[in-house]
Homo-oligomer: A and B are copies of this chain.
Amino acid sequence: MEPEETLDPTDWESLRILGHKMLDDMLNHLRDIRKQPVWQPIPMKVKSKFKVPLPKEGQDRETVYREFIENILPYPLGNIHPRFWGWVVGTGTPFGMLAEMLAATMNPNVVGGEHIANYVEEQVIEWTKEMLGYDPNASGIIVSGASMANFIGLTVARNTKTDYNVIEEGMRAGKKDLLIYGSTEIHGSIDKAIQLLGLGTKSLRKIPVNENFEIQIEKLRESIEADIQSGHKPICIIGNAGTVNTGAIDDLNLLAEIAKEYNLWFHLDAAFGIWCKLSTISHKLVEGIEKADSIAFDYHKWMYINYEAGCVLVKNKEEHLNAFNFSADYATHHERGTSSGDIWYDYYGIQLSRGFRALKIWMSIKENGSEKYGRLIEQNIQQARYLTNLIGIEQKLEILAPTKTNIVNFRYNNGTTDLDTLNKLNKEILFQLQEKGIAVPSNTMLNGNFAIRVAIVNHRSRKEDFELLINSILDIAQSLEKKVII
């Protein structure tokens, strides 16, 4: 055999020099992010750098890094910038970035067994239950995000609420259609989960919302009653704590009551809204979360943790285990050695190999303490109200949905009576805000109206940023109107 090769550097010192340069560059980048454009278009020439043939030979690491600096770093999504408020995308933190470096060094497979990463994750789950006031006996697992968390919650719901062995027998063995209920404002990941689970999207009853975009409880009850009458089997109600469109929060206490009355699983999609719980002021908005049988949410949204970090909690640990449990000869658990230990995360979700996502959460919670998160979340809510007030003052700006939490939907309205013209005008304003690198809101459609949508899950935003947003919108609108006149 030839002398062995390795992927370690032959010269550790030159890698060390490069590493320290990278770290300095990254810290400077984060420190000075406010001076950068939020977003900018990617030139074709840059895109072409990512349409090249496979490199057969290696390059020196300095060159690879230079390409990163030239062609990657300048063309971000923008979510680490103080004026990014698109979709619901968290900011991350510098200490979280350093934690990711530590996690990537240890590089464990956090599937379970006797090594420390599993205990760190367990600690994070315990702290999370404590933060949310959720059942201390609940089980939980850190996942890629709320889409996966919703999928796991609904899996446990399906497998628990069927009256036969659905794991073995499959959906075709069931005698009735299993039905799931949520509002029309429900997140798309629910539709996805329901089709994947073999329930079929027609099993999802989308109940109308009221003027606050909250589920209409009476309509929900009527729908359940009608379905039972028709011989179907309702199994689950999904509540929203923070809809994506408007940040609306359903009446969770009432949903819990109905779920109890009809013996249904109560799943809560609380991707970002859940964290209102940490605010000494706004925690009342999410009263009732502790009644859910399962909750899906993210740390990488409103806990500002670096991507990826979501979580699902399931109140009844046995039901969670029963929904996923599997075993194999090559994965035997032993009483001693590396494969001892009581924690096996493959029993709680889809993944077998799993990264050390827990470390950045553990280090961040220790860095900041839960109360600071509460203050920052409240700060974002107050910023949403401040922005709502700024909009209220301006005659040509119009709020399109009630601002309940951290999401503001509005538009420029110069009195044009033609809806299509108005929608196009606001779309153009949105494009220009982004293209000029000023700010990145996103948009949604509310009752046919194109809404500029600001979702604030950003610990870098300041009051002045929202003032700049409003002034820029008015400027852009004015220059657009001038153009039309000319």
Are B168 and A200 within 8 A (Cβ)?
yes
Report whether B42 and A115 are in contact in the complex, using a CB–CB cutoff of 8 Å: yes
Find residues 167-203 in chain A having any chain B CB closer than 8 Å to their own CB.
Answer: 167-174, 177, 187-189, 191-193, 195-203
Q: When the two chains form the complex, which single residue of B105, B350, B352, B369 contacts A55, counting CB atoms closer than 8 Å?
A: B369
Q: How near does chain B come to A169, taking the closest CB pair, in angstroms?
A: 5
Please give, as numbers and ranges, the residues of chain B lying within 8 Å of A145 by CB-CB distance: 351-354
Interface-facing stretch out of A75-83, A259-267, A313-321, A467-475: A75-83
User: A392: CB under 8 A from chain B?
Assistant: no
Q: Which residue of B lies closest to A371 (CB)?
A: B56
Pick the interface stretch among A220-228, A248-256, A426-434, A476-484.
A426-434
- Report the minimal beta-carbon distance from A133 to chain B, rounded to whole angstroms: 11
If A73-B106, A77-B117, A463-B1 touch, whether A431 touches B53 (CB-CB below 8 Å) is: no
Docked Cα-Cα span, A120 to B71, in Å, equals: 10
Tell me whether A298 and B8 are in contact (CB under 8 A). no
A239 interface residue (CB < 8 Å to B)? no
Which residues of A87-109 have CB atoms within 8 Å of chain B's CB atoms?
Answer: 87, 89, 91-98, 100-109
A53 to B126, CA, bound (A): 8
Q: Does A137 contact B (CB under 8 A)?
A: no
A146 interface residue per 8 A CB criterion: yes
B104 touches A96 (CB 8 A): yes
The interface-forming segment of A9-17, A285-293, A412-420 is A9-17
Is the CB–CB distance between B8 and A30 below 8 Å?
yes
Q: Are A330 and B442 in contact (CB under 8 A)?
A: yes
**CB of A7 within 8 Å of the partner chain:** yes
Is residue A230 within 8 Å, beta carbon to beta carbon, of the partner chain? Answer: no
Q: Does A284 contact B (CB under 8 A)?
A: no
Provide the residues of chain B in CB contact with A368, threshold 8 Å: 7, 58
Query: Is A275 positioned at the interface, with any CB of B under 8 Å from its CB?
Result: no
Q: Is A155 part of the binding interface, using a Cβ–Cβ cutoff of 8 Å?
A: yes
State how many copies of this chain the complex holds.
2
- The one of B166, B177, B353 in contact with A198, judged by C-beta atoms closer than 8 angstroms, is B166
A160 at the interface (CB under 8 A from B): no
A105 to B89, CA, bound (A): 14
A116 CB contact (under 8 Å) in B46, B147, B189, B459: B46
Q: In the complex, are the beta carbons of B353 and A310 less than 8 A apart?
A: yes
CA A306 to CA B355, docked complex, whole Å: 9
A86 beta carbon closer than 8 Å to chain B = yes
**Residues 128-154 of chain A: 1 if any B CB is under 8 Å from the residue's CB, otherwise 0?**
001100000000000011111001000
What is the CA–CA distance of A330 and B442 in the complex, to the nearest angstrom?
Answer: 8
| Interface residue? A35 (CB, 8 A) | no
User: Given A101-B23, A202-B170, are A5 and B338 neighbors across the interface (CB < 8 Å)?
Assistant: no
Query: Are A123 and B55 CB-contacts (below 8 A) given A64-B366, A77-B338, A198-B199?
Result: no
A263–B291 alpha-carbon span in the complex (Å): 48
In the assembled complex, the Cα of A347 lies from the Cα of B239 at a distance in Å of 25
Within 8 A of B (CB), among A409-456: 427, 430-431, 434-435, 440, 442-445, 453
Contact between chains at B351 and A39 (CB < 8 Å): no
Residues of chain B with a CB closer than 8 A to A485's CB? none
Asked if A370 and B101 sit within 8 Å, CB to CB, the answer is no
Contacts of A202 in B (CB 8 A): 168-170
A53 to B89, CA, bound (A): 29
Residue among A6, A7, A26, A144 with max Cβ neighbours from chain B (10 Å): A7
Q: Are A50 and B80 in contact, with the CB atoms below 8 A?
A: no
- When A169-B200, A338-B78 are in contact, do A16 and B24 touch as well, CB less than 8 Å? yes
> Which of B5, B148, B371, B444 is close to A376, meaning CB atoms less than 8 Å apart?
B5
Complex contact A192–B324 (CB within 8 A): yes
Does A356 contact B71, Cβ atoms closer than 8 Å?
A: no
Q: Name the one of B106, B107, B195, B363 contacting A64, with C-beta atoms under 8 angstroms.
A: B363
**Cα distance A54–B365 when bound, in Å?**
8
Q: Is A486 interfacial (CB 8 A cutoff)?
A: no
The residues of B that contact A148 with a CB separation of less than 8 Å are 350-351
Q: Which residues of B contact A119 (CB under 8 A)?
A: 42, 47, 50
CB pair A1–B353 under 8 Å, yes or no, is no
Closest 6 CB pairs of A and B: A198-B198, A170-B200, A171-B171, A171-B198, A100-B104, A92-B107
Sample (20) of A-B pairs whose CB atoms are under 8 Å apart: A1-B383, A7-B372, A19-B23, A41-B114, A42-B115, A42-B116, A57-B371, A58-B372, A64-B363, A78-B338, A87-B109, A97-B105, A104-B306, A104-B307, A145-B354, A188-B331, A196-B196, A307-B354, A307-B355, A337-B435
